[in-house]
Amino acid sequence: MADLSPASPAAAPGPRPAPEPHVPGLDAVTGTKPRPEPLDPPMLPFALGGAAAFAIATVVLLLADAPADWVRTCVAGLLLGIPGTITMLRHDANRRRRRALTHAEFKVTDPG
């Protein structure tokens, strides 16, 4: 049976290939630079903003005598914003605890 293993570079005939040039843009991919910390912003303002937008849209559509389907869509968005806001309250509380454990300079001001 024939040997199908690749030949070692020392045994290869001919000139050796030039080493690949260093590409600085790949440093983040290859791990030579420290990775930036991921963003972890407070989420409650986004949930409240979305619920408020649906509430305002509901009022505007009711005043403009818009089709009932549009109004129902806005009411559904407002109602779905309630559990979303509650979820984001818990998320932000856990976020504060997580940050206090990993960052010594971050202080939790909650009494609980």
Over the stretch 39-52, which tens digit does the pLDDT of each residue have?
Answer: 888 999 999 999 99
**First CA to last CA distance, the chain:** 74
- The answer to the question of residue 73 being in a domain is yes
> Domain for residue 18, yes or no?
no
Count of C-beta atoms within a 10 Å radius of residue 54: 19
- pLDDT averaged over the chain? 80
Q: Is residue 72 part of a domain?
A: yes
Long-range contacts of 82-90 (CB under 8 A, 24+ apart): 82/51, 84/47, 84/50, 84/51, 85/44, 85/47, 85/48, 85/51, 87/47, 88/43, 88/44, 88/46, 88/47, 89/44
Residue 50 lies in a domain: no
Tell me the per-residue pLDDT of 80-90, one tens digit each, with 9 for 90 and over. Answer: 999 999 999 99
Residue pair 44/81 in contact (Cβ under 8 Å)? The answer is: no
Does 80 map to a domain?
Answer: yes
Mean pLDDT is lowest, of 30-39, 40-49, 94-103, for 30-39
Say what the pTM is.
0.59
Domain that holds residue 73: 55-103
Task: Report in angstroms the alpha-carbon separations of 5 from 1, 2, 8, 60, 105.
Answer: 12, 9, 9, 74, 57
* Residue 7 confidence class, pLDDT cut points 50, 70, 90: low
Inside any domain, residue 25: no
In a domain, 76, yes or no: yes
Total count of domains within the chain: 1
Residue 12 lies in a domain: no
